[in-house]
């Protein structure tokens, strides 16, 4: 357990950053390399939610998941290309599937988001558009023509859409930018921190770097310690997750185009692949070899803990945190005989839960796993 670093240290470090990287003297700062593993049981409560399977709800792969307005929204890019909507108990509600080349249709969805009213937005990078679908009638839509290529986006409010990793001619131009639906203009918010290497030639160890927790959106600036809160026209530095294990720019330059060497690297942090906020703190994880590391930052105590989730059988071997539902962290599991055998050995399962796992098969949809830790209640 480590206390928050002294504020003046953050000020000194931030004052050396380029002007394209906003300074915030209130940002949290932690040294990840010296965090001790908490002796508190990582998981005190877990819920298993099977996603209902119908003729219209078969999921090939969960590419992204959001929990908003008491619904789970799941993007599948592989089988039934679209967004599936389930209620908080896993009952299938509806699916948005508008693939095609006509008006209101998308060719290749790269990302999606949901606003506070339940409207679904899908980004089609082929057409350089985001399409807004009405929550109550998917036949009602609005096409937002952005005229640029990007990797991810998030709806901030009725006016602003944040775009991440805008690229042009094979190189990232802006790490973050905001699009005003009122002015129909894009304004840069954050430039790349590393300018001498081509980040697009380094494999991504995270499926996304924009992380939504309810109405709040956070962004991780890759290969740096920096976590930003995105709020429309501006961004604020929320946290510096310091470590000596981040790649130096010259090391990354040497790894450009060498995916195998990057993936086999055992010394460095490849990504921060989760940063989610709950009522009492922040959960984050780092991609390291051979297993990821998990951290909990307490709002009340102002300190950071390392969580040992890698040996927690209640997660059924799943170590990718996909989102947050109220105070619960979310991951998911696909069927396998080994996973079922692991599940049935968990102590304290109710008879209904045992029956659920017993009925699980290779034809079933994934099961969502929602969990709480004593450390973050």
Q: What is the pLDDT at residue 290?
A: 84
Q: What is the pLDDT at residue 43?
A: 85
All domains in the chain, ordered by first residue? 2-376 (2.120.10.30)
Q: What is the pLDDT at residue 18?
A: 36
**Residues with Cβ < 8 Å from 143, sequence gap 6 or more?**
103, 104, 129, 130, 131, 132
In the numeric block, the tokens 């937005």 are attached to 121
H/E element, 82: strand 82-87
Q: What percent of the chain has pLDDT over 90?
A: 78
DSSP conformational letter for 247:
P
Q: What is the pLDDT at residue 37?
A: 81
DSSP states of 144-195: EE--SB-SEEEE-SSSEEEEEEEEETTEEEEEEEEEETTTTEEEEEE--S--
Q: What is the pLDDT at residue 375?
A: 61
Q: What is the pLDDT at residue 114?
A: 98
Low-confidence ranges of the chain (pLDDT < 50): 1-19
Q: What is the pLDDT at residue 9?
A: 35
């Amino acid at each position: 357990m480590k206390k928050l670093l002294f504020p003046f240290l953050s000020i000194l470090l931030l004052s050396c950053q380029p002007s394209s990287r906003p300074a915030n003297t209130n940002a949290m700062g932690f040294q990840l390399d010296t965090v001790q593993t908490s002796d508190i049981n990582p998981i005190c409560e877990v819920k298993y939610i099977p996603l209902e399977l119908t003729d219209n709800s078969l999921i090939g792969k969960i590419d992204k998941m959001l929990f908003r307005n008491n619904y789970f929204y799941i993007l599948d890019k592989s089988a039934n290309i679209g967004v599936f909507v389930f209620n908080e108990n896993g009952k299938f509600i509806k699916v948005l599937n508008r693939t095609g080349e006509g008006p209101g249709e998308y060719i290749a969805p790269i990302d999606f988001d949901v606003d506070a009213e339940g409207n679904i937005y899908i980004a089609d990078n082929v057409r350089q558009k985001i399409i807004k679908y009405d929550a109550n009638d998917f036949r009602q839509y609005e096409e937002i023509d952005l005229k640029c290529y990007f990797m991810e986006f998030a709806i901030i409010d009725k006016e602003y859409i944040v775009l991440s990793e805008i690229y042009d001619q094979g190189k990232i131009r802006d790490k973050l930018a905001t699009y005003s639906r009122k002015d129909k203009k894009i304004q840069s918010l954050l430039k790349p921190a590393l300018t001498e290497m081509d980040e697009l030639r380094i494999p991504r160890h995270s499926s996304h770097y924009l992380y939504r927790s309810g109405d709040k959106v956070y962004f991780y600036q890759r290969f740096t310690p920096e976590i930003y809160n995105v709020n429309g026209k501006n961004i604020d530095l929320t946290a510096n997750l310091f470590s000596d294990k981040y790649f130096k720019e010259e090391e990354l330059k040497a790894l450009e185009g060498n995916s195998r060497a990057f993936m086999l690297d055992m010394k460095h942090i490849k990504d921060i692949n989760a940063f989610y906020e709950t009522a009492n703190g922040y959960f984050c994880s780092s991609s390291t070899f051979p297993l990821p590391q998990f951290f909990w930052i307490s709002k009340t105590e102002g300190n950071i803990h390392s969580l040992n989730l890698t040996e927690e059988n209640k997660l059924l071997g799943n170590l990718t945190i996909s989102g947050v539902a109220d105070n619960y962290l979310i991951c998911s599991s696909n069927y396998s005989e080994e996973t079922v055998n692991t599940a049935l050995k968990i102590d304290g399962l109710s008879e209904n839960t045992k029956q659920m796992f017993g009925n699980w098969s290779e034809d079933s949809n994934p099961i969502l796993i929602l969990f709480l830790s004593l450390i973050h209640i």
